[in-house]
Amino acid sequence: MAVSPGKVHQVFLNFRGEQLRYNFLSHVTDALERHGIKFFIDKYEQRGKDLKHLLVRIEESSIALAIFSSRYPESRWCMDELVMMKKLVDQGKLRVIPIFYKVTAEDVKKPTRDSEFGRNFWRLAELVSTTSSSRDQIKHWLEALECICDKMGLSSEESSESDFVYKIVKKVKTLKEAIDLEEEEKSFW
């Protein structure tokens, strides 16, 4: 189970904790553990540490799962993690698999007030839009949503929840194998 040099975690999990931690996400983490896939989830972080330390955990990962749900954009932290993930994707340092849990890719990619995801996004945007730097942050959030949603992802609308978790693990394993092969080829040359 090789991990890229300098990479501690194979998979970083980005999700709305209040909504998913004790239900859907618990099934995903259980399945990852059963398949021997190393992952990072914030519950393993030492309490009392600065939240910015979580951004380091993204950099220590080779794969990230952006698990979009209706309440995902209620969290400024989720959105800021997504911006960091986009930055690392742009640098070729991270692969992201978008997971659409009971939301559509279209609603996430272009949030409008016609969906619960969009309403939650714009509610957060209104809360933070008091300064020009905050307006820049909203622009970065929108760019990150569009960029990550352009990746090949998985949607819960296509299967039962147990099948959906299986598909997520299968996709992670396939991507991990591709990354491991790329690393072997780099070290060979």
- Which residues are known catalytic residues? 81
The H-or-E segment that residue 189 falls in is: none
| Helix/strand number for the chain, H first, E second | 8, 5
Q: Give the span between the Cα atoms of 43 and 28, in whole angstroms.
A: 14
Give the three-class secondary structure for 171: helix
> If we measure between CA atoms, which residue out of 101, 67, 102 comes closest to residue 81?
67
Where do we find the tokens 């983490």?
29
